[in-house]
Chains A and B, each alone.
Chain A
Amino acid sequence: MSPVHFAFSSTFILGLTGLTLHRYHLLSALLCLEGMMLSLFIALSLWTLQLDSTSFSASPMLLLAFSACEASAGLALLVATARTHGSDRLQNLNLLQC
């Protein structure tokens, strides 16, 4: 595997690890999510250049736009959590577990 591919793959996996194994703050999960988005942006850009498929050169921009929306949605959730639960401690958020 070429070093660049290795770099963004490992970034993605590390971000995913951080998202999965977070403990205290919801914000750290959101940050990891942003990191994953960033690595995906780099991946898309790289693949467009490597595979010489110029029709895909707009995809990183689209991803960035959507990631911004998603980040704002996440932040809105964070604010909502802080309003209803008083903090963003993750122990309060086990909604699906009875």
Chain B
Amino acid sequence: MHPTSLLMSSSLILILFLLTYPLLTTFTPNPKHSDWALTHVKTAVKLAFFISLLPLFIYFNEGLEVIITNWNWMNTNTFDVNISLKFDHYSIIFTPIALYVTWSILEFASWYMHTDPYMNRFFKYLLTFLIAMIILVTANNMFQLFIGWEGVGIMSFLLIGWWYGRADANTAALQAVLYNRVGDIGLIFTMAWMATNLNSWELQQMFATAKDFDLTFPLLGLIIAATGKSAQFGLHPWLPSAMEGPTPVSALLHSSTMVVAGIFLLIRTSPLMESNQTALTICLCLGALTTLFTATCALTQNDIKKIVAFSTSSQLGLMMVTIGLNQPQLAFLHICTHAFFKAMLFLCSGSIIHSLNDEQDIRKMGGLHNLAPFTSSCLTIGSLALTGTPFLAGFFSKDAIIEALNTSHLNAWALTLTLLATSFTAIYSMRVVFFVVMGHPRFNSLSPINENNPAVINPIKRLAWGSIIAGLLITSNILPLKTPVMTMPPLLKLAALAVTILGLLTALELAFLTNKQFKPTPKLTPHHFSNMLGFFPSIIHRLTPKLSLILGQTIATQMIDQIWLEKTGPKAIASANLPLVSTTSNIQQGMIKTYLSLFLLTLSLMVLLVIY
């Protein structure tokens, strides 16, 4: 075998083995020493990251992609299921990024969860999640992808409900599982359709044989799956509720890796979606709606983690819009750059929360640029990268997306909503920075602000470097699969920057109004709409169970118990006979009039009969 491909395949298999080894050591009954988390798990991830750079550089140098089919798992007469790993453009670039971000998060978690007695278990869960995510990303067939999909769903449930003594955390974990399950219906439907119509779950065979079919239904199934996993509008409330979990969980799962699984699925199956205009339009409109709605909700939230969660949801909507534009590679680029700055935003939030003695409300923070300068600077860098400041990481993906949006023939509504959401991004980022970093402190003086621990500083530093240069690095080294439109009028070219600056100026204006009274009474309705998340959870979470319970009660109690088993059965005899009985006994009350009138009636009838 050619040495380069041998090198590549062996490195990739080694990565998977390195990651699973710490898990295998936990199957012995002896408890691990308290350093196990750091010595085994973090080292494994760090090592796996450095090894994964080798395939990455081989790919950049030669463009070599590898598909490894290991084992024929099961087969029926006509259908094979294999363990098959695909390391193509998407998974070769995503794996090092995921490992880098996870390495930083694990190091941060060793500080954040230091006082937790079950820290080893926490790290084990995070490692299991990472393995499931890698399985999902490197899957060459739908079955393996489904294994990874369900794996990340379950680990999300276990990690969100980490502090299970708290009722809100349990509710949030359950919410995550339920919403993901609704999405899974779509995925299973698509898998069934593929199995029955295309005879395979392998991606290569699917792409080759799907040319003659009308793919609207399976694509709809995939879109529903992405809606559930990636928190698009309609199945989105679980993502802000998932902030009940510890901050490392939010940083890993709900910003960089798990929530992009839905978008990743759509990217993997993008050859199927290219020719189906219905599916593309649905993606476009759904993504635009999501990005604007969640950006609106982010404007008035007061919990710093919820703002970042809504920001994640908004960026996921943007990725969905990109897929709707038939640009999967740009969506993937945004996934990669987004992982860096979003994880960093979460880590900075975690550092701030711990420093202020577990205070998460931004109205009780302030003045941190003097007290925690490093964290504040990185928060600012992350926010700038998020809003697409030129030449930071976010710029390369976000600006490319908005340029593609502006120069393509599409729904003008989607364009407007996306541009509006971009300006909202600037507004809420500015709001976070204003409340947290600027101004005077609004917390107690004896807060344990300490950012001198290298376990906190180094991860954030690494991610900050990533947020700055990742965009440049990735775009300089990959080949674009579709040619971007290069020439456009200057206003279109600068549209993203212009709306961002507009948003920034608006936010600055609003920020300096916080200590002045602009109107006698504020206008409360838009604030309530945004703060209560558009009333979506309030309505749906109460209405749907209520309707289901009423339906259950109507069917079980009223229809079956009371009617079929009582009224039409035993009681029917009674209720049919009772009127007859009462009429008869009413007649025979002993009133002479009744008897005589009967006699009269009979007699007159008789006479009439005789006459005629």
Residues of A within 8 A of B (CB): 1, 9, 13, 16-17, 19-21, 94, 96-98
Contacts and interface: CB of A to CB of B under 8 A. Distances in A.
A97 B590 contact: yes
Nearest to B596: A20
B470 to A, nearest CB: 99
Contacts of B599: 16, 20
Interface residues of B, number: 14
Contacts of B590: 96-98
A94 B594 CA distance: 12
Interface in B569-596: 589-593, 596
B611 A20 contact: no
Contacts of A9: 607
Contacts, number: 30
B25 to A, nearest CB: 93
B604 A97 contact: no
B591 A20 contact: no
Given A13-B600, A13-B604, A21 B592 contact: no
A21 B600 CA distance: 10
28 contacts: A1-B610, A1-B611, A9-B607, A13-B600, A13-B603, A13-B604, A13-B607, A16-B596, A16-B599, A16-B600, A16-B603, A17-B600, A19-B596, A20-B593, A20-B596, A20-B597, A20-B599, A20-B600, A21-B597, A94-B591, A96-B589, A96-B590, A96-B591, A96-B592, A97-B590, A97-B591, A98-B589, A98-B590
Contacts of A1: 610-611
Contacts of A13: 600, 603-604, 607
Given A17-B600, A96-B592, 4 more contacts: A16-B596, A20-B597, A96-B589, A97-B591
Contacts of B597: 20-21
A97 B607 contact: no
Contacts of A17: 600
A20 B592 CA distance: 8
A34 to B, nearest CB: 16
Contacts of B593: 20-21
Contacts of A16: 596, 599-600, 603
Interface in B2-16: none
A22 to B, nearest CB: 8
A1 B599 CA distance: 22
A20 B591 CA distance: 11
A96 B591 CA distance: 7
A94 B591 CA distance: 7
Interface string B81-94: 00000000000000
Nearest to B597: A20
B606 to A, nearest CB: 10
Nearest to B591: A97
Contacts of A21: 593, 597
A18 to B, nearest CB: 10
A16 B600 CA distance: 6
A98 B588 CA distance: 12
Nearest to B611: A1
A20 B603 CA distance: 13
Q: Closest 8 CB pairs between A and B?
A: A96-B590, A20-B596, A20-B597, A20-B600, A16-B600, A97-B589, A97-B590, A1-B611
Interface string B429-471: 0000000000000000000000000000000000000000000
A97 B611 CA distance: 37
A9 B608 CA distance: 11
Contacts of A97: 589-591
Contacts of B600: 13, 16-17, 20
Contacts of A96: 589-592
Nearest to A20: B596
B5 to A, nearest CB: 107
Contacts of B591: 94, 96-97
A71 B38 CA distance: 123
Nearest to A96: B590
A94 B607 CA distance: 31
Interface string B117-139: 00000000000000000000000
A27 B374 CA distance: 118
Contacts of A98: 589-590
Contacts of B592: 96
